[in-house]
Amino acid sequence: MARKFLYLICGVTILLLLLLLALRIWSEDLTEMAFVPGVAFAPQQALPPEAWEKPGMWVSRPGLRSDPAAWRPAGMTPAPGKLPVAVFFIHPTSYIARDAWNASLEDATSRNRAALFVQGMASPFNVAEAIWAPRYRQAAVGAFLTAKPEAARAIDLAYGDVLSAFDVFLRHVPPGKAIALAGHSQGAFLLRRLLRDRIAGTPLAERVVGAWVIGWPVSLQHDLPRMGLPACQRADQPGCVASWLSVADPADTDMLVQAYGRRTGLNGGSVAGSAFLCTNPLTGTPGSSVPAAANLGTLVPDVEARSGTLARGVVPASCGPDGFLHIGPPPKLDLGPYVLPGNNYHLYDVTLFWANLRADFERRTTAWQARAQAQATAQATPR
């Protein structure tokens, strides 16, 4: 009997090892089967920019009765005053179905998930006077896991919506007022293009307090030179780009790098093998390694209650030579079941550093205000 039991244990162990080997060898194929839409791409007409004049076309914007971006973690007191800046935030992919290449604006599941993402990821910016986060016909998550031509068409459709929403956002922001730009995952991917097409080489660049392009690689060679803003080098530097992708150790980033390599940069060149920007969110500077004591607060979510609390001094951060932001071993926090294979903390890129991102936004906005004031004083001084 004991021998049969040992044979059973041995057999189960071998099966598990074979399963892990299969996942290792065919992980890309299995992922494509699970997430890439198996239907034909359905062309859709571009919506007129005026569509985003309707409050219902926004997850967050001034005047909404229930605005998820206005949320604060439990126990956190409101800021004493609002910063005079308007934030444009592009939420990450909330549509993971395979039945279409682009989400319908009326899809209840993706709308609910988008509101939750905006609550957790745009709320660090709610010390600003206004946050605008548009609804858009986002590309399905599978569009970023394949090189099929349908994927590029789906992403282009999503980008057209975001661009129209941004133009409406600008209509509602007074001329000369400071703006901030942020996006995560698909939102960051689209924000790269928006920076190239609406910010680079325009007077708007002088109004940007910062651009937080989080959860999608920003190629130092193929993207950054076309985005119209430099990479953030100092913690108090206004008008710059910050970006990071979070992994715990030991990390397996092969699938991430492959997904990155399928895309072209803003200059049209292949980004495969290109180094990308890593900003340490604990310092606001590139390439640094910082202990957990510098973490002002990780957002520990309670998804069921749509709430959460801040845990201070738990998660460290280090920009590794591979360009990823390493957080050491998986943190001993109940963050939920959404860590991706390979110790990929993609869904937690913002919430791991919630309080530090808030402080970074405040610091860069204050620096932008000081610079603007100095420039105004210099212009008004008789010569």
The model's pLDDT over 130-175, given as tens digits with 9 standing for 90+, comes to: 999 999 999 999 999 888 999 999 999 999 999 999 999 999 999 9
pLDDT digits (tens, 9 = 90+) for 300-330: 988 778 889 999 999 999 999 999 999 999 9
> What length does the chain have?
383
Which pLDDT value is given to residue 29? 52
180 DSSP β-pair partners = 87, 210
In a domain, 283, yes or no: yes
Q: Which residues contact 299 (CB under 8 A, 6 or more apart)?
A: 73, 120, 308, 309, 310, 350, 351, 352, 354
Contacts of 21 (CB under 8 A, 6+ apart): none
Burial degree of 326 (CB within 10 A; 0-12, 13-18, 19+): buried
Which percentage of the chain shows pLDDT scores above 90?
77
CB 341 within 8 A of CB 272: no
What HEC string does 6-69 produce?
Answer: HHHHHHHHHHHHHHHHHHHHHHHHHHHHHHCCCCCCCCCCCCCHHHHHCHHHEEECCCCCCCHH
| 379 within domain boundaries | no
* Residue of higher predicted confidence among 77 and 293: 293
User: Looking at the predicted structure, is the pLDDT value of residue 19 above 50?
Assistant: no
Q: Is 194 helix (H, G, I), strand (E, B) or coil?
A: helix
Q: 30 or 198: which carries more pLDDT confidence?
A: 198
Query: What is the domain extent for residue 208?
Result: 31-373
pLDDT value, residue 34 = 67
Answer yes or no: is 18 within a domain.
Answer: no
Count how many domains the chain has.
1
Mean pLDDT of the chain: 90
Enter the tokens of residue 104.
């319908």
**CA dist., res. 128 & res. 143, Å (int):** 33
Asked whether residue 19 is assigned to any structural domain, the reply reads no
If DSSP codes are grouped into helix, strand and coil, which group holds residue 83? strand
Q: Please, which residues have CB within 8 angstroms of residue 252's CB and are 6 or more apart in sequence? A: 341, 342, 343
Would residue 15 count as lying in a domain?
no
Residue 31's pLDDT is what?
Answer: 52
Around Cβ 320, how many Cβ atoms within 10 Å?
A: 15
User: Which has the minimum average pLDDT: 187-191, 340-344, 358-362?
Assistant: 340-344
Task: Provide the β-strand partners of residue 58.
Answer: 134
Q: What gap in Å lies between CA 6 and CA 222, rounded to an integer?
A: 56
Are 260 and 271 in contact, with CB atoms under 8 Å apart?
Answer: yes
pLDDT at position 129 over 90: yes
> Is there a domain that residue 358 lies in?
yes
Q: Give the full edge-to-edge strand order of the sheet including 128-134.
A: 58-60, 128-134, 83-90, 178-184, 208-214, 241-242
15 pLDDT higher than 70: no
**Which pLDDT score, from 0 to 100, does residue 284 have?**
97
Q: How far apart are the first and last CA of the chain?
A: 99
Closest to 72 (Cα-Cα) out of 357, 352, 363, 309: 309
pLDDT exceeds 80 at position 87: yes
Q: How many Å apart are CA 326 and CA 106, to the nearest integer?
A: 37
Coil, strand, or helix at residue 100? coil
The helix (run of H) or strand (run of E) holding residue 254 is helix 254-261
- Whether 25 is covered by a domain: the verdict is no
Confidence of residue 6 (pLDDT cuts 50, 70, 90): very low
Q: Is residue 155 part of a domain?
A: yes
Question: What per-residue string of b and e applies to 287-301 under the rule 16 or more CB within 10 Å gives b?
Answer: eeebebebbbbbbbb
| DSSP letters spanning 119-134 | HHHTGGGTTEEEEEEE
Q: What is the 3-state secondary structure (H, E, C) of 144-191?
A: HCCCCHHHHHHHHHHHHHHHHHHHHHHHCCCCCCEEEEEEECHHHHHH
Min mean pLDDT across 31-40, 208-217, 302-311 is at: 31-40
Nearest to 336 by CA among 375, 382, 290, 300: 300
Q: What is the pLDDT of residue 35?
A: 82
Given a cut of 80, is residue 17 above it in pLDDT? Answer: no
The whole-number average pLDDT for the span 187-204 is: 98
Query: Which stretch of DSSP H or E encloses residue 357?
Result: helix 354-380
Please, which pLDDT band fits residue 288 given cuts at 50, 70 and 90? confident
For position 9, what pLDDT does the model report? 34
